[in-house]
Amino acid sequence: MNWRRKRLLKIISILLIIGFSYFLYDYYGIRQGLDLAGGAHIVLKAQDTDKRKVDAEAMQGIINILERRINGLGLSEATIRPVKNDNRIIIELPGVDKPMEVLDIIGQTAMLEFKNEEGETVMTGEYLVKAEPAHDQFGRPVINFELNDEGTKIFREITRKNIGKRIAIYLDDQLLTNPVVQTEIVRKGQITGYSTFEEAAQHAVLLREGALPVPVTYEEIRNIDATLGKISIDQSKKAGILGLILVALFMIFWYRYPGFIATQALVIYGLIVLGVMAGLRATLTLPGIAGLILSIGMAVDANIIIFERIKEELRAGKTVRAAIDAGFRRAVTTILDANVTTLITALILAYFTSGTVRGFAVTLGIGILSSMFTAIIITRNLMDLQMKFINSPRAFGVRR
């Protein structure tokens, strides 16, 4: 491959990286944590019952069902996590200003029971595979449900034995409907008794996602104002822009044109970080912004190491091309050593912590990986593409 094709390939590669990063950022956007977006903070506590004690399996079951219920309500970017060595679960819902309405739905045990005229439970909702809100032939809101094979056999037998009798349907001991069985029902059925379609839709979510293994009660529920988040974001933006300008001025003053190349790499680094965070659906928190700004400094550190190595090679009498090759080769080991140790710390923080501290660790980790990629790959290619501007030791501030 001749140098023209190599040059074209490098330009296309850099443009693709920039374009793809911007696409991810523009398409997915950056998820904001509760401290930035505001919203609801809810603490639930799982309760023991006579039939079952709260254990790790029950806690995981509750979290899985809560996640599905919240997703079913169309609430995105929610965070649900257990409190270690406790029966409590913390739910954070960015953008939600009426948490009680959400809690009334997701906090229900959602035990569906079918009872005969004697009040005996003849079947539960564990056999449901589908539950959708709909309107019946009279335009009334209903839930159309469908049973699995085992439930179909049971329900067929129940309805066959109770033709002409009533089968009541209860949700968490609340009577929904008490119809008379007209004929044997197979696989599909209908729950009536709703006054609004919205109510039917909310109950459909509960039935579809299953009942909680044990009841939960709420211990804390509060709204977090987003005003503090907006002020923090504005101040952080100012700090980030000011830091970027000062770093760029320093790099250009000290390293001249290579410093300008480092500034270009720094802008690309910023786009990559935002794109990766958006693509991974990572949540940006206030400490996360601090981690982002910190990683800007670390990204510049890598360029400084590279440029100092190149200057050492130039002082040793090598040509600019040979000095750049040797400088990058020698600097890579140092950059990896320095960043890997910080990356390990970020991983430990992300694994053992939660909330805003984890947000800081995740953002820092993404920043470190992006800074290494930018310094070693992007900066090198930018220098190759702009070699005519740095093809002299003086361009690096070295006089022979």
* CATH number, residue 141: 3.30.1360.200
Q: What is the pLDDT of residue 272?
A: 92
Q: What is the CATH number of the domain that holds 24?
A: 1.20.1640.10
Same-domain status, 213 and 338: no
Q: Which of 155, 151, 144, 152 is nearest to 204 (CA)?
A: 144
Same-domain status, 136 and 245: no
Q: What is the pLDDT of residue 363?
A: 84
Same-domain status, 136 and 65: yes
Q: Supply 349's token pair.
A: 């923080």
* Contacts for 208 with CB less than 8 Å, ≥ 6 apart: 72, 128, 130, 131, 132
Q: Supply 259's token pair.
A: 């410093």
The Cα 191–Cα 279 span in angstroms is 41
Same-domain status, 292 and 193: no
Q: What is the DSSP string of 369-389?
A: HHHHHIIIIIHHHHHHHTGGG
Same-domain status, 186 and 247: no
Q: Which of 35, 33, 357, 93 is nearest to 225 (CA)?
A: 35
Same-domain status, 152 and 246: no
Q: Which of 287, 300, 286, 201 is nearest to 244 (CA)?
A: 300
Q: What is the pLDDT of residue 63?
A: 86
Q: What is the pLDDT of residue 228?
A: 56
SS3 assignment, position 24: helix
Q: Which of 17, 23, 33, 20 is nearest to 285 (CA)?
A: 33
Answer yes or no: are the C-beta atoms of 39 and 92 closer than 8 Å.
yes
Q: What is the pLDDT of residue 264?
A: 92
Q: Supply 337's token pair.
A: 């050593």
Determine which helix (DSSP H) or strand (DSSP E) holds 230, and give its type and residue range. Answer: helix 227-255
Same-domain status, 230 and 354: yes
Which of 196, 223, 250 is where one domain is finished? Answer: 223
330: number of CA atoms within 13 Å, CB side? 16
Answer yes or no: are the C-beta atoms of 69 and 206 closer than 8 Å.
yes
> 88 - beta bridge partners?
45
Q: Vertex 205, ends 201 and 206: CA angle to 5°?
A: 120
Q: What is the pLDDT of residue 230?
A: 67
- Inter-residue long-range contacts of 314-321, CB under 8 Å, 24+ positions, other chains counted: 314/393, 314/396, 314/398, 314/400, 315/398, 315/400, 317/400, 320/387, 320/390, 320/391, 320/392, 320/393, 320/395, 320/396, 321/387, 321/391
Determine which helix (DSSP H) or strand (DSSP E) holds 95, and give its type and residue range. Answer: none
Same-domain status, 43 and 28: no
Domain extent, residue 242, equals 3-35+225-396
Helices and strands (H and E) in the chain: how many: 12, 13
Same-domain status, 153 and 229: no
Same-domain status, 268 and 381: yes
In the chain, DSSP assigns E strands to: 31-32, 39-46, 79-82, 88-94, 112-115, 121-124, 128-135, 141-147, 168-171, 174-177, 188-191, 216-224, 283-284
- Each residue's pLDDT, cut to its tens digit, for the chain (400 residues) gives 666 777 788 888 889 999 999 999 999 888 777 777 778 888 989 888 887 788 888 888 888 888 877 877 766 567 788 887 788 998 888 777 777 877 777 777 777 788 888 888 888 877 888 888 899 888 888 888 888 888 899 989 998 888 888 888 887 777 877 888 877 888 888 888 788 888 888 788 777 777 777 888 888 888 877 655 567 677 777 877 888 888 889 888 888 889 999 999 989 998 999 899 888 877 777 777 777 777 777 788 888 999 999 989 999 888 988 999 999 998 888 888 888 888 898 888 887 776 667 778 888 888 889 988 898 889 998 998 898 888 888 888 777 6
Burial 47-65 (b: 16+ CB within 10 A, else e): eeeeeeebeeebbebbbeb
